[in-house]
Amino acid sequence: MIPAPVEPFAAVDVIVAKRDHGELSDAQIDWVIDAYTRGAVADEQMASLAMAVLLNGMSSRETSRWTAAMIASGERMDFSALSRPTADKHSTGGVGDKITLPLAPLVAACGVAVPQLSGRGLGHTGGTLDKLESIPGWRASLSNAEMLAILEEVGAVVCAAGEHLAPADRKLYSLRDVTGTVESIPLIASSIMSKKIAEGTGALVLDVKVGSGAFMKDIDRADELARTMVALGEDAGVRTVAILSSMDTPLGLTAGNALEVAESVDVLAGGGPRDVVELTLVLAREMLAAAGVDNVDPADRLADGSAMDAWRRMIRAQGGDPDAALPVARESHSVAAPSTGVLSRLDALGVGIAAWRLGAGRARKEDPVSAGAGVVMHAKPGDTVRAGDPLMTLHADSADRFPGALEALAGAVSVDPAPGAGPPRAVGSAHPRTPLVLARIAG
């Protein structure tokens, strides 16, 4: 019988060091990540360490080393053989955040390859893969060889991360989710950046959401997270920029999988809601600049149809039919405006929870989602509404989902009286639009 290898550290000593506000050494961090990945550190021990990190934090050196150790737990992709530079985008998640769908083909149409490794939705925030899987035939799982071939031929791919990419993060992420340690900024930043750096992209733009429908409700915490991630990316040699964007109100007019795909196609066709178009262009310009491409305006690629062409090629390359009809939920329910006036608030969290309860999201990773479920909004803050007119339409496969969604929307809407006499009118500066982009952070 071969004896078990002698470990250089004891997990309890590492836990106690962080519990007592100490800094972990590089060797301790390298060991604990590797040992946890191979099962030599138990879940309960890593949970205790994660709680100590949540309570006592990490220095920038510790966070950088933790991230590097998670990258080293698996493979690192290499796109150097591609004929064009690479850039990627990561969003911290929100309601109606379908930006990846028009963004990836748009940036590809501008000459930069986009290797977008995305995830699935959990709770009130939607997942990019869930949205794209509402397209008949489209598949999220690709081999590395398939991914490289599509990037060279089409310029953009959106797919699931392989199981060998930062496996330490996959294991730790699941543990944090059930141990109340998700909120730690060093652990959030290292989780996101370990995957993105291991992905091998040359440039990265981070869209850090702020507001009621975002993971980060407070702009100061969002700013700290953004700066931490930018520093991690730059330390790893990846040109990294972060944008802080508002998520108090849902993005666009839809929240739900197939509904958001349809809206994204509208954007690629030259239409779509103003806020979705605006953020798509902001992020596209940042990605192009980070990749060193400054001779093309992405707005031109939306206007001339080349972004739509790239979308259709991207969907076909992953087995999807861009011309197929999207799924439609079996039931619908209209939500009327409660009064006449100016819609002053449409809470993103309330809309997101409603979409989740309608079947568009999941409570556990293994839960199925409904492709056609979700919320269509007929007005956004600043718009004039009339009492009794449709404000939202809810879509679900079963009518018994509507009461829970309506409960989530109770208190999510505010309508202010229109100023002055006479019929309701748009009031312009009386209800200024919240800036979509709140800040830009670069290394």
Q: Per the residue annotation, which of 176, 209, 362, 401 is the catalytic one?
A: 176
- Render pLDDT for 263-281 as a digit per residue (tens, 0 to 9): 999 999 999 999 999 999 9
Band (7; pLDDT cuts 50, 70, 90): confident
169 annotated active-site: yes
Contact 217, 211 (CB under 8 A): yes
Residue 158 three-state SS? strand
Residue 35 three-state SS? helix
Residues of the chain above pLDDT 90, percent? 85
The pLDDT of residue 427:
34
- The whole-number average pLDDT for the span 152-175 is 91
- Tokens 């056609």: give the residue: 372
* Bridge partners, 90 (sequence order): 206
Q: Per the residue annotation, which of 124, 170, 195, 357 is the catalytic one?
A: 195
* Bridge partners, 125 (sequence order): 122
pLDDT at position 24 over 90: yes
Q: Per the residue annotation, which of 30, 88, 97, 169 is the catalytic one?
A: 169
Band (2; pLDDT cuts 50, 70, 90): low
The pLDDT of residue 174:
85
- Render pLDDT for 325-358 as a digit per residue (tens, 0 to 9): 999 999 999 999 999 999 999 999 999 999 999 9
Considering the entire predicted model, what is its pTM? 0.93
Residues of the chain above pLDDT 70, percent? 94
pLDDT at position 123 over 90: no
Mean pLDDT of the chain: 92
| Crossing angle of the two packed helices 219-235 and 185-199, in degrees rounded to 10 | 40
176 annotated active-site: yes
Q: Per the residue annotation, which of 64, 191, 194, 245 is the catalytic one?
A: 191
The pLDDT of residue 424:
38
Band (6; pLDDT cuts 50, 70, 90): confident
Domains, the chain, in order of start with CATH, read: 88-177+195-324+437-442 (3.40.1030.10), 331-430 (3.90.1170.30)
pLDDT at position 365 over 80: no
The pLDDT of residue 118:
87
Picking from 161, 89, 100, 106, the residue whose alpha carbon sits closest to that of residue 127 is 100
Residue 267 three-state SS? helix
pLDDT at position 428 over 60: no
Q: Per the residue annotation, which of 89, 90, 196, 362 is the catalytic one?
A: 90
Contact 416, 383 (CB under 8 A): no
Q: How many CB atoms lie under 10 A from the CB of residue 143?
A: 10
Q: How many CB atoms lie under 10 A from the CB of residue 214?
A: 26
The pLDDT of residue 11:
95
- Render pLDDT for 173-184 as a digit per residue (tens, 0 to 9): 889 888 989 889
Cα dihedral across residues 382, 383, 389, 393: positive or negative: negative
Q: How many CA atoms lie within 13 A of 302 on its CB side?
A: 22
365 annotated active-site: no
The pLDDT of residue 435:
86
Length of the chain: 443
Question: Which position has the higher pLDDT, 363 or 399?
Answer: 399
